[in-house]
Amino acid sequence: MDINAAGKSRVNTDREKLFSYFYMYGLYVVFLLLILIFTPINKNFLTLNNGINILQQTSSVGIAAAGLVFVLLTGGIDVSIGSTLFMTSIICAMMTNAGAGLFAAVVTSIGCGAVIGAINGFFIAKLRLVPLIVTLAMMFVIRGLTVAMVGIKTTMFNNPVGTFIARTRLFGYLPLVVIFMALTMLVCQLVFSKTLFGRQLYAIGNNRIGAEKMGIKVSRNTWLAYIICGALAGLSGLVSGAQVGGITPTFTTGQEFIIICATVLGGVSLFGGRGKAFPGAFMGVLIIMTIENGLVMARTNMYAYQIVRGIVIFIAVMLDSAQNKGETR
């Protein structure tokens, strides 16, 4: 019996080491494999221009993903992100079309997103309602209100502000939106790793009851996490709206699942208490966008995107569950 127990213990230890190595280096290996797969299919895949294009595609999703990390660390979730992107992009487009400047657009996008996040956070942190139900309801309410406001027509975002955000390149090649994303990711990661607030979010996600006993203001911090998530989703809406130029009623539909999938793929746990904005969530977003870019360049059937996306979501959640041994905390 002792020999069998020792053997099982070694197997469990080896499995834990394997998962540990995968979470440390697996994303980089997967990214290199994607490059090796797509490069022979299209010679233009591994070029500077396409690399910059992938980073541009990554920017809006990356900004929203950085905000989502705050919520996921507490053990919560926000599926209203896609609708928040939609509403803020519409509002900013209408404002800038009426003559508002860049600063007003940035402040408005962050403010609108923060208000939505504050509403979500109030019901979740203060009234203790289930995060999935609250944010799912908010997802439909926001999109419905926005469509009721503008109708089913396409809202154009082709004014000087939109052009500046989407087309400005530093040093002639580095897009401004990539700088936005990089700064957002780095600042968020500094908050997680260097501030008391960040450490408290990890503590809440790992053991909510224990965090309360330690004197951590769980309700307040959870509320703040949703406000920050909404604010960055709002900023992401401004960036994504400027990039597409024309915002349709179906804009960002399903985008929340891409953001969640990419964040979890980057090692941020759905169970709370584990993950990083950079390089974790960033690498997750970069891998998702690289897959989509590679499939487009390979001229794959449009339905293949949905299939691959579903497979990636399944793998990300499966690995997260395995890492947590299927336990909810």
What's the confidence (pLDDT) of residue 76? 94
What's the confidence (pLDDT) of residue 18? 65
- In this structure, the dihedral spanned by the alpha carbons of residues 159, 163, 258 and 230, taken in order and rounded to 10 degrees, is -60
Nearest to 33 by CA among 321, 290, 259: 290
Nearest to 234 by CA among 99, 80, 130, 122: 80
- Going from N- to C-terminal start, the domains of the chain cover 58-323
Nearest to 143 by CA among 32, 46, 249, 43: 249
Instruction: Kindly state the tokens that stand for 174.
Output: 């580095």
- In this structure, the dihedral spanned by the alpha carbons of residues 134, 315, 25 and 75, taken in order and rounded to 10 degrees, is 20
Q: Distance between CA 69 and CA 236 in Å, rounded?
A: 14
pLDDT-flagged residues of the chain (< 50): 1, 326-329
Distances in Å between the Cα of 20 and the Cα atoms of 23, 274, 277, 314 are 5, 13, 18, 19
- In this structure, the dihedral spanned by the alpha carbons of residues 114, 120, 123 and 124, taken in order and rounded to 10 degrees, is -110
Contact status, residue 80 vs residue 64, Cβ threshold 8 Å: no
The separation between the first and the last C-alpha atoms of the chain, rounded to the nearest angstrom, is: 32
Residue with tokens 């915002």: 247
Would you call the peptide bond into 279 cis, given omega within 30 degrees of 0 as the criterion? yes
Q: Distance between CA 171 and CA 160 in Å, rounded?
A: 20
Contact status, residue 118 vs residue 230, Cβ threshold 8 Å: yes
Contact status, residue 111 vs residue 174, Cβ threshold 8 Å: no
Contact status, residue 243 vs residue 91, Cβ threshold 8 Å: no
What's the confidence (pLDDT) of residue 306? 75
Q: Distance between CA 236 and CA 261 in Å, rounded?
A: 17
Would you call 247 helix, strand, or coil by DSSP?
strand
